[in-house]
């Protein structure tokens, strides 16, 4: 029996055991597996461990997403938690790109994932008050928001 002879429910179950990269690789093999990859039921939870993962096209953002976790701790990210006046020009440039990447990603989440119930942002020194305010407005079902080491989030939020 070939994998494409399995019914959709079995394929979804098999895909659920794979990481994002493996799901994407398998989806590239044929249109039937691509359709399984694009099934919203496969994407209720997303976890990212680095900024680079946000740029990959190996996940699906949609209304089925219930839990989002963005957690990373690297020396480059720690630089972004430092006051701007202490940073070199290179560090400011790097932080600006990181901030743009994170905020653009969270704006996509706001537009595509209104049913989010849980968001964890850990080590995201790039997240701003404005971005969080929009997230809170766009995701009315949000019940848990965990912020750890988000240096740019103030008491205003």
Look at 53-57, 86-90, 135-139, 147-151 and tell me which has the smallest mean pLDDT.
86-90
Residues 6+ apart with CB under 8 A from 119: 67, 68, 69, 135, 139, 142, 144, 145, 146
% pLDDT > 90, the chain: 55
Average pLDDT, the chain: 86
Tell whether the model's pLDDT for residue 74 goes beyond 60.
no
Tokens 């008050």 sit at which residue? Answer: 129
The pLDDT value recorded for residue 50 is 80
Residues 6+ apart with CB under 8 A from 73: 122, 123, 149
Average pLDDT value for residue range 115-138: 89
pLDDT digits (tens, 9 = 90+) for 75-98: 445 555 555 545 567 666 666 667
Look at 26-30, 33-37, 79-83, 138-142 and tell me which has the smallest mean pLDDT.
79-83
- Tell me which residue of 146, 154, 119 sits closest to 135, measured CA to CA: 119
Token couple for 134: 């929009």
The pLDDT value recorded for residue 139 is 95
H-run or E-run covering 15: helix 8-16
Q: Where are the beta strands (DSSP E) in 41-154?
A: 45-48, 67-71, 118-122, 144-148
Residues 6+ apart with CB under 8 A from 100: none
The pLDDT value recorded for residue 136 is 93
Average pLDDT value for residue range 26-30: 95
Indicate the pTM of the whole model: 0.81
- Cβ–Cβ under 8 Å, residues 37 and 26: yes
% pLDDT > 70, the chain: 83
pLDDT range class, residue 152, cuts 50, 70, 90: confident
């Amino acid at each position: 029996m070939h994998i494409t002879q399995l019914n959709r429910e079995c394929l979804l179950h098999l895909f659920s055991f794979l990481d994002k990269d493996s799901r994407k690789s398998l989806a590239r093999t044929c249109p039937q597996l691509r359709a399984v990859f694009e099934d919203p039921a496969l994407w209720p939870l997303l976890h990212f461990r680095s900024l680079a993962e946000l740029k990959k096209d190996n996940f699906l953002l949609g209304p089925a997403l219930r839990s989002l976790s963005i957690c990373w701790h690297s020396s480059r990210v720690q630089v972004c938690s430092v006051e701007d006046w202490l940073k070199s020009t290179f560090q400011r440039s790097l932080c600006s790109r990181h901030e743009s990447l994170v905020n653009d990603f969270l704006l996509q989440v706001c537009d595509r994932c209104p049913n989010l119930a849980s968001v964890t942002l850990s080590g995201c020194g790039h997240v701003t008050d404005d971005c969080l305010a929009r997230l809170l407005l766009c995701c009315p079902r949000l019940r848990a928001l965990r912020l750890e080491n988000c240096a740019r989030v103030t008491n205003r939020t």
